[in-house]
């Protein structure tokens, strides 16, 4: 994408609420006329980022420039940015015309000009003749159009859309997506679109910014994001995928699920642990034959409209999701094959939990705001600061919050074929990563405990 100039530049932007960091070191440039989608699950900080761009929040740290000017501290009414709010935020005591004319009235434009402009935007949003209507009498989709009209009439440099379609039903949402896309072409202004709907993001955007836990995970075009996810979060969040732990034997050879596969990735260390992503439509499934790389038994098959979605378990105990237009009955043994360039190998973000800790006494170490019993404190003096390492496997989770040494909430679940990789947010807002064979649900409250022998102390 050729960018003549950047309309929004964000440098090292961070934001905290109290002691909770919601945005961490965000760097992002958005080009003039671009359609950029900020995509992430709820609570990832995307709305905060939007509110910072609009000026409803003042950044704790960092800089935001809009149209070449530093606007980090500029109040919202002086920014060349207009917003379409999630629940529209139409003024209930004003009618459609008055709502749309609100911004122009403030600019004290002559009456005839306002009339003319309102008529124009109503035409753009296909709402001609609705001027006198009460906003409460409009349907959700119509309110949405008025909200867009109210924003674009001010000819902003940037239009922010905060989950504008979230409140609409499925069919309506599809139609509005197309209309928003068409509007963007016609108006030629920059759209920054906030959503948690990956399909919407893939459909609409020139570029997608994937966010999670206050950090940008990846920026790229829809195809880049889909085909070359940078990490397991992006791979899992965008589309369906099989994500497994693997080992990079050497360049272009990776081992996972108990087999070795040719791949196209290079530049890893010998035997480096990695994560492997394979899209369900990229696994070939057929009657068992010599062509098979590996085999498995079908455990379920569901018709999804265009294709069948089948779960296949390999003799080594790994589960794969596979999409194909043919169906194989559950219980059937099938052959499986993956082409080298369909295997996406990613660097592992972490291999082990690492915490900052302090030695309390011979048998205790303090980290995560809790005192843990520890078998081997290496005879370090009390008060020594150390690194504490705990393997993902060695963190135990309990149903009862009280049974743990501290409690937390399951905030992210990744299925790795034969186990779950969980991210637990503790009471003190720290992350603990856990490998578990048990099934947990998002937002489950859990107790966390670690046995004394599994706490490894590392001298700094």
Partner 1 sequence: MIKRILSTSYLGILLIMLYAPILIIIIFSFTEAKVLGNWTGFSLKLYSSIFQGGIHHSLTSALWNTLIIGLIAAAASTVLGTMAAIGIYNLTPKSQKAIQMVNTIPILNPDIITAISLFLLFVSLGISQGYTTVILAHITFCTPYVVLSVLPRLRRMNPNLYEAALDLGATPFLAVRRILLPELKPGMISGFILAFTLSIDDFVVTLFTIGNEGLETLSTYIYADARRGGLTPELRPLSAIIFISVLVLLLVINQRAAKKKL
Residues forming the site for partner 1 (CB under 8 A)? 54-56, 75-77, 81-83, 85-93, 102-103, 106-107, 150-151, 154
As measured in angstroms, the least distance from the Cβ of 187 to partner 1 is 17
Instruction: Kindly tell me which of 86 and 354 has the beta carbon lying closer to partner 1.
Output: 86
Instruction: Kindly tell me which of 101 and 386 has the beta carbon lying closer to partner 1.
Output: 101
As measured in angstroms, the least distance from the Cβ of 102 to partner 1 is 5
Cα–Cα nearest to 450, from 372, 355, 388? 372
Instruction: Kindly tell me which of 88 and 412 has the beta carbon lying closer to partner 1.
Output: 88
Instruction: Kindly tell me which of 54 and 336 has the beta carbon lying closer to partner 1.
Output: 54
As measured in angstroms, the least distance from the Cβ of 39 to partner 1 is 21
As measured in angstroms, the least distance from the Cβ of 13 to partner 1 is 19
As measured in angstroms, the least distance from the Cβ of 127 to partner 1 is 18
Other Cβ atoms closer than 10 A to 133: 15
As measured in angstroms, the least distance from the Cβ of 177 to partner 1 is 22
As measured in angstroms, the least distance from the Cβ of 319 to partner 1 is 44
Distance CA 368, CA 106 (A): 52
- Across the strands, what pairs with 30? 8
The distance from CA 108 to its chain's CA centroid, rounded to whole angstroms, is 42
As measured in angstroms, the least distance from the Cβ of 103 to partner 1 is 4
Instruction: Kindly tell me which of 162 and 324 has the beta carbon lying closer to partner 1.
Output: 162
User: DSSP 3-state assignment of 381?
Assistant: coil
Instruction: Give pairs for 370-376: CB < 8 Å, separation 24+.
Output: 370/405, 370/406, 372/405, 372/450, 372/452, 372/455, 373/452, 374/452, 374/455, 374/457, 375/452, 375/453, 375/455, 376/456, 376/457
Distance CA 126, CA 182 (A): 12
Q: What tokens appear for 164 in the block?
A: 């504008």
Instruction: Kindly tell me which of 80 and 141 has the beta carbon lying closer to partner 1.
Output: 80
Cα–Cα nearest to 433, from 374, 366, 350? 350
Q: Specify the DSSP class assigned to residue 96.
A: H
User: How much is the CA Rg of the chain, to the nearest whole Å?
Assistant: 26
Q: Cα–Cα–Cα angle for 439, 443, 445, nearest 5°?
A: 80
Instruction: Kindly tell me which of 75 and 452 has the beta carbon lying closer to partner 1.
Output: 75
Instruction: Kindly tell me which of 55 and 417 has the beta carbon lying closer to partner 1.
Output: 55
As measured in angstroms, the least distance from the Cβ of 146 to partner 1 is 12
Instruction: Kindly tell me which of 87 and 293 has the beta carbon lying closer to partner 1.
Output: 87
The CA-atom distances, in angstroms, between 339 and each of 102, 264, 284, 291 are: 58, 10, 9, 12
CB 243 within 8 A of CB 215: no
């Amino acid at each position: 994408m050729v960018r003549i100039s950047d309309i929004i530049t964000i440098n090292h932007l961070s934001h905290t609420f109290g002691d909770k960091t919601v945005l961490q070191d965000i760097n992002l440039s958005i080009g003039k006329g671009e359609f950029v989608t900020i995509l992430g699950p709820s609570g990832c900080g995307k709305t905060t980022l939007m509110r910072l761009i609009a000026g409803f929040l003042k950044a704790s740290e960092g800089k935001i420039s809009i149209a070449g000017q530093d606007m980090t501290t500029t109040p919202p009414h002086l920014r060349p940015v207009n917003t379409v709010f999630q629940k529209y935020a139409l003024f209930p005591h004003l009618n459609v015309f008055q709502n749309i004319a609100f911004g122009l009235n403030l600019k004290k434009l002559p009456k005839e000009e306002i009339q003319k402009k309102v008529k124009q935007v109503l035409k753009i949003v296909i709402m001609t003749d609705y001027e006198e209507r009460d906003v409460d009498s409009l349907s959700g989709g119509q309110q949405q159009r008025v909200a867009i009209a109210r924003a674009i009439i001010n000819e902003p440099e940037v239009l922010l859309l905060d989950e504008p379609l979230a409140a609409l039903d499925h069919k309506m949402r599809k139609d509005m997506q197309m209309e928003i896309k068409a509007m963007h072409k016609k108006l030629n202004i920059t759209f920054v679109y906030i959503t948690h709907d990956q399909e919407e993001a893939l459909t609409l955007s020139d570029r997608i910014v994937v966010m999670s836990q206050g950090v940008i995970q990846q920026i790229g075009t829809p195809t880049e994001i889909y085909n070359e996810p940078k990490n397991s979060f992006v791979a899992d969040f965008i589309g369906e995928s099989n994500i497994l732990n693997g080992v990079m034997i050497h360049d272009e050879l990776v081992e996972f699920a108990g087999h070795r596969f040719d791949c196209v990735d290079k530049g890893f260390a010998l035997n480096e642990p990695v994560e492997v992503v394979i899209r369900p439509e990229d696994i070939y499934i057929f009657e068992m034959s010599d062509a098979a790389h590996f085999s498995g038994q079908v455990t379920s098959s569901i018709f999804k409209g265009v294709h069948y979605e089948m779960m296949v378990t390999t003799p080594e105990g790994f589960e794969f999701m596979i999409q194909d237009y043919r169906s194989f009955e559950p219980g059937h043994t099938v052959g499986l094959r993956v082409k080298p360039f369909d295997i996406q190998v990613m660097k592992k973000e972490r291999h082990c939990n690492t915490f900052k800790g302090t030695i309390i006494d011979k048998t205790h170490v303090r980290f995560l705001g809790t005192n843990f019993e520890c078998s081997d404190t290496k005879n370090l003096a009390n008060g020594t600061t150390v690194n504490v390492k705990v393997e993902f496997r060695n963190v135990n989770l309990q149903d009862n919050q009280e049974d743990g040494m501290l409690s937390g909430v399951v905030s992210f679940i990744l299925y790795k074929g034969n186990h779950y990789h969980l991210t637990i947010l503790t009471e003190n807002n720290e992350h603990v990563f856990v490998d578990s064979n048990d099934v947990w649900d998002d937002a489950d409250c859990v107790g966390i405990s670690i046995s004394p022998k599994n706490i490894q102390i590392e001298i700094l």
